Amino acid sequence: MAIRFDSKTNTFTIHTVKSTYQMKVDDQKVLLHTYFGSPADESDFSYLIVPDDHGFCAQPAGNAEDRNYSLDFYPQEYSVQGSGDFRIKALKAGFGGRVPALDLRYHSHQIREGKYSLPGLPHFFANDGDKVQTLEIVLKDLYEDVYVTLLYGVFEEKNIITRAAVIENAGDMPMEIKRAMSMCLDFMEGRKELICFCGKHAGERQYDRRTLQYGITEIGSNRGTSSHQHNPFAIVCDKNTTEDYGKCCAVSLLYSGSFQIQAEVDQFEGTRLVCGVNDDEFSWILKKGEQFVTPEAVISYTDNGLADLSGGLHRAIYDNLIRSAWKDRKRPILVNNWEATYFDFTGDKLMEIARQGAQIGLDMLVLDDGWFGKRNDDNSGLGDWYVNEEKLGCSLRELVDQINGLGLRFGIWIEPEMISEDSDLYREHPEWAMIIPGRDPVRGRNQLTLDLSRQEVIEYMKTSIDNLLDSANIEYIKWDMNRSVDNVFSAAAPELSQGAVRHKYILGLYEVMEHIHQKYPEILIEGCSGGGGRYDAGMLFYVPQIWCSDNTDAIERLRIHYGTSFGYPMSTVAAHVSVCPNHQNGRVTPFKTRGICAMQGSFGYELDLGKLTDEEKEEAKKQVAVYNEHYRLFQNGNYYRLTSPMDNHDFTAWSYVMPDGSKAVLSVVYTDLHANPKPLHIKWKGLIPNARYILEGREYTGAALMQGGIVLPKPECNYDSYMVVANLKDR
C-alpha cells in the first residue's frame, strides 16, 4: 500500500519507490506536514517539530494557553490566511467583504485505488497495470461551511505524487477567494537551493541555480501564458546536489497561464514552497454549492541527483500525462515554410518547397502563418480562419491534394486565441476582444486577445477549427499564441467577476483543446507560443510536442534544450534545421551541426530547401536517414545530459539510450576551438555495465564507456559536431 493511515498516531504516510511523505492530524485537528524525503518508515515524524514559545508567534483559535504552539512555525500541509501563520499562504479567502480569514481543521479522509481526475484541467492518469492510489483529505473551516479537499495521486513506481485542492462553499454567504495554490510544502531543515528555468523570447528556460535567502523568492508569470520568462517547473535541492548525487525535489505545475512558484525561508530557516495560479489580478467568487478546483501540481523526490530526477519525470510525463495518438508513432520529419518565406509565399512557392522536401525524403510540409483572411503581414486577419485562395492560387483542399500527391503529409499553422482589429471577426464581434472599456488597449504584435471566458467565443473557436480541419486532409496543426496578455477584461462578466477572467481564459483554452483531442484524435498538434512561451506540463496533456523556441540557432539551442530537459521529455521538443547566417543571431554553423542539434527533438527543416547547395542536400538526405533509423531512440530513449553548456564552454554532449540498454547514440557539439588542444573525453551514461557494445567497429564494455569514457575526435572547424551510435553486441 502506497498510502497508509495510522489511526493511533493520526498520520498519513505515503511511500513511492524513492520517497516517503507524511502528514499528521494533531490534537488541534490541524493537518501538519511532518516529512518528505528519502524512503523512511511510518514512524510519527512529528517528534521533529519543536514546540517553543517564540515571541510574536500567534496562537490559533481555541489554543490560546499553549504558547509553544503556533502555526507561524509549525510545518503545515495547506496554510491559510488568518490562522496566525505569517508565512506565504496556500489559501486566502473571506466572506462578505471582510478581510480574508480561514481556520481549516481535519474533517475526514478517504483512501482509494486509482487516480482522481480533474475534469476540465490537465492531469496525470493511470494506465492499466500502474500502481496508483488516491488520498483525499477534507478540511473544514471552524466557522463557515467551507470545505477544502486536498487530493493526492500516488504513482508509487513512477515516484510521483500529484496534488490539487478543491475548495467548496457549502454555506449561504458568498466567499471570495483571493488566492488558491495547488500545493504547499514545508521543509523543516536547512537552507535549500532553488533551480529554475528563466529566460526571454528566443532564449527560454536557461538553467538558473541560487541559494534561497531569508524572505520570499518568486518565479512566475502574469502574462496569461506560462511564459518565455519563467517556467512552472522548479527544483529544490541541497547545496551539494549534482547530476549524479544528492537530494532533490521537483515541482511541476500543470498550468498554461499566469502562475506563481514561491519559496520562503522563514525566521527559523525552514523553507516553504507553494505553487499555483498567480494571485495577481485573481479573485474568484464561490456562491453556495460552488467549487474552485486548482490546477494539478506534481512532485517527485530522489536521493540520486538531478539526472535521476529528470529521468523519472520524463518517463512519468511520457507514460502518464501525454495522451496524443502520436506519442509512440514516428513523428513526421517536416519542412515548415516560416523562415523560408515568412508571409511572402504563393501556392507555387509552397509546391516548390514540397517537391524539394519529397526529394530529400521528408514526410510533411507545414504551412505557417499568412494563409488565411487578408494576412500578408502581422497586422491583420487573425480570427478569419478561412483560406486566402487568391494568395494560394487554389483552394486549400487542392493545395493539400497536390502535396499529398508528392507523398508528403500536410500540416497548418493557426493562432485561434487572437483577433486582429483589421479582421472580419473583429468588425462583427468587437466585444469578443479583451479591451478595458474607455481605454485604448495594450496591443502585442498589433493584435488583441479573444475573450475565452465567454462560451460563445469558445464555440466560435471550436467551429472555425472544425471547419478548417474538415476542409482538407490536414494531419498536423501548429497552435501558436503570440502575445503577453494585458488589459484582461470580459465585456460579458460583471465588474466583481473580472478577477476570474484570466483563469477562465485558460479553462476555455483547455476546453477547445480537449474538443480537438476528442474529435480529431489522429491529428498531431504542436504547441507554440512565439516558440517556447507556453512550454508547460499542462500543455502536454493536449499536445505531444512544442516548438521549443523561435531561436533556431543550433548553439543557442544547446542551452535552451539543456534547460528544457530538466522538466520535460525530449520527445516534446520540436527543433528544426534553419538557414545560415541564422535569422535570429547571424551565426554561421555547419549544416551537419544544425542537424545534430535538431535531432535532439522532433526533427524538421525550416528553410527554403530550393536554396540548399548540392552538398547540403546530400547532408540533409543523410540526416533524414539517421533520424528515420534511430527515431525510437530520439523519441523514447532515456535522455542523459553529459555536460552542461552553462559550465563547459568547449563542447556540449548528450545521449539517448534505449530503455533496455540495447542501443545508444551520443551527440557532441563543439562550442570553442583551441590551438594545441588538450584531448577531450566524455563519459557515457545509462548503458549496461557488463554488456559489450560495438562503436565505430570497436568493442567496449558498457562499464568502460561509462567509467573511462571515449575520446572525442578533434573539431575541424568552428561549431563542428560529432554523433556516434553504440549497439549492443549480438543483438
Contact footprint for ligand DGJ (CB under 6 A): 338, 368-369, 413, 480, 482, 528, 530-531, 547, 550
Nearer to ligand DGJ, 315 or 331 (CB): 331
Nearer to ligand DGJ, 454 or 534 (CB): 534
What is the rounded CA–CA span in Å between residue 473 and residue 9? 62
Report in angstroms the alpha-carbon separations of 703 from 14, 229, 687, 711, 722.
36, 40, 8, 15, 22
Nearer to ligand DGJ, 30 or 513 (CB): 513
Among 343, 439, 426, 325, which residue's Cα sits nearest to residue 383? 426
What is the rounded CA–CA span in Å between residue 485 and residue 533? 12
Among 326, 336, 409, which residue's Cα sits nearest to residue 636? 326
Q: How far is the CB of 550 from ligand DGJ (least distance, A)?
A: 5
- DSSP symbol at 707: I
* Chain mean position to CA 511: 18
Active site residue 616: yes
| Long-range contacts of the stretch 432-441 (C-beta < 8 A, 24+) | 432/456, 432/457, 432/460, 434/485, 434/487, 434/488, 434/489, 434/490, 434/501, 435/487, 435/489, 435/491, 436/487, 436/489, 437/489, 437/491, 439/487, 441/487
Nearer to ligand DGJ, 540 or 665 (CB): 540
Residues 6 or more apart whose CB falls under 8 angstroms from that of 442 comprise 486, 487
Nearer to ligand DGJ, 32 or 574 (CB): 574
Nearer to ligand DGJ, 413 or 510 (CB): 413
Q: How far is the CB of 549 from ligand DGJ (least distance, A)?
A: 8
Nearer to ligand DGJ, 509 or 528 (CB): 528
Residue 242 CB neighbour total at 10 angstroms: 12
Asked if residue 547 lies in contact with residue 478, where contact means CB atoms within 8 angstroms, the answer is yes
What is the rounded CA–CA span in Å between residue 139 and residue 134? 16
Among 217, 195, 205, which residue's Cα sits nearest to residue 261? 217
Nearer to ligand DGJ, 481 or 691 (CB): 481
By CB atoms closer than 10 A (0-12, 13-18, 19+), residue 487 is middle
What 3-state DSSP class applies to 407? coil
What is the rounded CA–CA span in Å between residue 670 and residue 34? 47
Residue 341 CB neighbour total at 10 angstroms: 17
Asked if residue 542 lies in contact with residue 510, where contact means CB atoms within 8 angstroms, the answer is yes
Nearer to ligand DGJ, 274 or 481 (CB): 481
What is the rounded CA–CA span in Å between residue 706 and residue 29? 52
What 3-state DSSP class applies to 682? strand
Nearer to ligand DGJ, 482 or 571 (CB): 482
What's the one-letter identity of residue 239? K
Selected catalytic residue, list 536, 556, 606, 619 = 536
Q: How far is the CB of 339 from ligand DGJ (least distance, A)?
A: 8
Among 362, 407, 364, which residue's Cα sits nearest to residue 621? 362
Q: How far is the CB of 220 from ligand DGJ (least distance, A)?
A: 22
Nearer to ligand DGJ, 603 or 700 (CB): 603
What 3-state DSSP class applies to 124? coil
DSSP string for residues in 408-457: -EEEEEE-TTEE-SBSHHHHH-GGGB---TTSPPP-BTTBEEB-TTSHHH
CA angle (724 as vertex; 721, 728 as ends), nearest 5: 165
DSSP H helices in 67-131: none
Q: How far is the CB of 148 from ligand DGJ (least distance, A)?
A: 39
Nearer to ligand DGJ, 197 or 338 (CB): 338
* Residue labelled with grid coordinates 538526405: 621
Q: How far is the CB of 412 from ligand DGJ (least distance, A)?
A: 11
Residues 6 or more apart whose CB falls under 8 angstroms from that of 201 comprise 228, 530, 531, 533, 550
Tell me the residue number closest to ligand DGJ, measured at CB: 369
Active site residue 157: no
- DSSP symbol at 387: B
Selected catalytic residue, list 176, 308, 616, 720 = 616
CA angle (674 as vertex; 673, 678 as ends), nearest 5: 115
Q: How far is the CB of 604 from ligand DGJ (least distance, A)?
A: 11
Q: How far is the CB of 480 from ligand DGJ (least distance, A)?
A: 5
Q: How far is the CB of 606 from ligand DGJ (least distance, A)?
A: 8
Bond before 689 cis per omega within 30 degrees: no
The kind and range of the H/E element at 347 are helix 347-360
Enter the C-alpha cell of residue 720.
563542428
Q: How far is the CB of 201 from ligand DGJ (least distance, A)?
A: 9
Report in angstroms the alpha-carbon separations of 225 from 362, 482, 516, 533, 537.
32, 10, 20, 7, 12
Q: How far is the CB of 527 from ligand DGJ (least distance, A)?
A: 10
Nearer to ligand DGJ, 194 or 598 (CB): 598
Q: How far is the CB of 368 from ligand DGJ (least distance, A)?
A: 5
Among 11, 163, 169, 176, which residue's Cα sits nearest to residue 82? 176
Which sequence positions are flagged as catalytic?
536, 616
